[in-house]
Amino acid sequence: MTLLLACNGPAGDPPGDPPGANGTRQSEKRSVVSESPADDAEESIRIVFLGDSLSAGMGVNEDEAFPAVVEGHLRHRGWDVQVFNAGISGDTTAGGVSRLDWILSQNPQIVVVELGANDGLRGMSVQMTEANLRAMISKTQQAGIRVLLAGMMVPPNYGADYSERFNDVFPGLAEELDVPLVPFLLEGVAAEPDLNLIDGIHPNPAGHQRVAETVLPFLETILKELEASDSSPDA
């Protein structure tokens, strides 16, 4: 079953008070899910989640949102990573494009693009959503940064044709731009009452744990690729 989340609520930004979805400055709120010293951060692999209220963890504590849970799992498995949560509730793919330069200026090695749910919720142009996602992915790749794309799906509220075209955007871009894809970020969570808040659309802490489990193997694959490239003779 597919479900689109309504992504509206408190936002969380990475350090440095970045531009928000509407181009204004957000109040500073670091959703960094580790407290590593700055020197350690320079050595750690930096992963940024560029997203909406799903990443921001609407309705749960920052350390319960799935980016924080992912970092905990990765560190437990021996990966020296630092995760930055750049989730802004209510953000769209257009907002992600406007924030991307700031994200890239933080010199991450991996950017997880988790945007598009609000585009679909508002019935925005599928072509525009696709163009915005393509722009974000392409620019990040051109900067030599790995991308993980989180797939979204919508129910047929705007008609089966709209839903099909929207849902196809994510696998289509992943194939076109050769980026790994989480087929559906909310797999096993959407429409599961025990895994969502009372609104029925935003994950609760247990739901965020499930989302983290979905994302984790994709990030580990990218980390292994980075490790292999760093150790190769031509690196």
Q: Which contacts (CB < 8 Å, 24+ apart) does range 190-199 have?
A: 190/1, 190/2, 190/3, 190/5, 190/153, 191/1, 191/3, 197/58, 197/59, 197/60, 199/6, 199/59
What is the enclosing helix (H) or strand (E) of 138? helix 126-142
Tokens matching residue 22 = 């509407």
- What contacts 145, CB < 8 A, 6 or more positions away? 104, 108, 109, 110, 111
For 43, other C-beta atoms within 10 Å of its C-beta total 9
Q: Which of 40, 80, 168, 199 is flagged as catalytic?
A: 199
- Spatial separation of the C-alpha atoms in residues 131 and 165, rounded to whole Å: 13
- Spatial separation of the C-alpha atoms in residues 204 and 64, rounded to whole Å: 9
Q: Which of 31, 53, 55, 163 is flagged as catalytic?
A: 53
Tokens matching residue 177 = 């731009």
Tokens matching residue 80 = 């020296």
Residues listed for the chain: 235
Q: Which of 55, 89, 163, 202 is flagged as catalytic?
A: 202
Catalytic residue flag (residue 199): yes
Return the SS3 of 122. coil
Catalytic residues: 53, 199, 202
